[in-house]
């Protein structure tokens, strides 16, 4: 039985992973801890085979007022947890990073590929990348380091941009029909990926995503459909959207942010829920 310690006691990913692994009671035992304050430092990590570190700051504005908090939590705390895990004899450390580390870096096709060099453009991305770099240096045959760089994670109870779009989809009669491509990752697909990473005792950097790229317009349409509502997609507003592309919120909604699909294809099949089904599960 794999003994798994998950940081981020009340986090969306942490609580979802606990529920997912509970489907296999004979194969995994889980324990969650909060890493706020200093009490966690007294925990004996040596009782666990795997530490999954998902605690961190996300979905906040990267203002100068929060810069210290981002580096303190996303970088310094992550490094400290990894150092303790290694010192206590944990065999595998899984660090939840983000696609955000790439900033605006893309290849000629507008996608992120294996050769794309991370160039973060805000403190969130910088703090995650700096944590990655330090944690990867700790890796060894006895301490297998896994770095996950998922795109936007969504599911029932998720935070961030998805709930905002879902709210719009429930009352807007029309929505811009923009051709964009975004990588996304449904929470159950992520949890299955982590489960398999634990099973196979993997190490390295991984880029899990859904099988399908997502058009924001299509996602909004499916959310409305899940609520028994039809929303009309129109290209009439597209010229206005194009003029507003420099505005951060517009780029988030209608811009492209996607991994090349082959980066996320592994011998292990982790994408257990398709996109349309994932929207239905998220909404109900």
SS3 229: coil
pTM above 0.75, yes or no: yes
Among the listed residues 162, 151, 158, the one whose alpha carbon sits nearest the alpha carbon of residue 184: 151
Whether the CB-CB separation of 113 and 172 falls below 8 Å is answered with no
Whether the CB-CB separation of 100 and 120 falls below 8 Å is answered with yes
Distance separating alpha carbons of residues 135 and 226, to the nearest angstrom: 41
Whether the CB-CB separation of 13 and 54 falls below 8 Å is answered with yes
Q: What's the CA angle centered on 50, arms 194 and 157, to 5 degrees?
A: 45
- pLDDT score, position 132: 98
Positive or negative: CA dihedral 271, 274, 278, 279:
positive
Q: Domains (ranges, CATH) in the chain? A: 2-149 (3.40.50.720)
Interval 70-121: pLDDT, tens: 999 999 999 999 999 999 999 999 999 999 999 999 998 889 999 999 999 9
Interval 29-81: pLDDT, tens: 999 999 999 999 999 999 999 999 999 998 655 556 689 999 999 999 999 99
């Amino acid at each position: 039985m794999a003994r798994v310690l998950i940081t981020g006691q009340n986090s969306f990913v942490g609580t979802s992973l606990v529920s997912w692994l509970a489907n296999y009671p004979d194969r995994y035992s889980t324990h969650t801890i909060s890493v706020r304050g200093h009490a966690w430092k007294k925990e004996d990590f040596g009782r666990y085979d795997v530490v999954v570190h998902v605690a961190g700051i996300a979905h906040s504005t990267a203002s100068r007022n929060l810069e210290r908090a981002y580096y303190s939590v996303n970088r310094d705390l992550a490094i400290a947890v990894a150092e303790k895990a290694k010192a206590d004899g944990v065999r595998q450390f899984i660090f939840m990073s983000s696609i955000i580390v790439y900033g605006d870096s893309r290849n000629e096709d507008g996608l992120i590929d294996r050769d794309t060099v991370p160039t973060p453009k805000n403190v969130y991305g910088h703090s995650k990348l700096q944590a990655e770099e330090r944690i990867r240096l700790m890796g060894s045959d006895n301490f297998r380091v896994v770095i996950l760089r998922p795109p936007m994670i969504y599911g029932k109870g998720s935070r961030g941009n998805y709930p905002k779009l879902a709210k719009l989809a429930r009352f807007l009669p029309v929505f811009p029909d923009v051709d964009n491509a975004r990588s996304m990752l449904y929470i159950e697909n992520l949890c299955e990926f982590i489960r398999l990473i634990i099973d196979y005792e993997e190490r390295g950097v991984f880029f899990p995503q859904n099988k399908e790229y997502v058009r924001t317009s299509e996602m909004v349409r499916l959310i409305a459909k899940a609520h028994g509502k039809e929303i009309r997609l129109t290209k009439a507003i597209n010229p206005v959207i194009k003029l507003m592309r420099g505005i951060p919120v517009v780029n988030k909604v209608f811009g492209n942010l996607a991994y090349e699909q082959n980066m996320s294809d592994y011998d292990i099949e982790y994408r257990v829920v398709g996109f349309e089904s994932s929207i239905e599960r998220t909404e109900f």
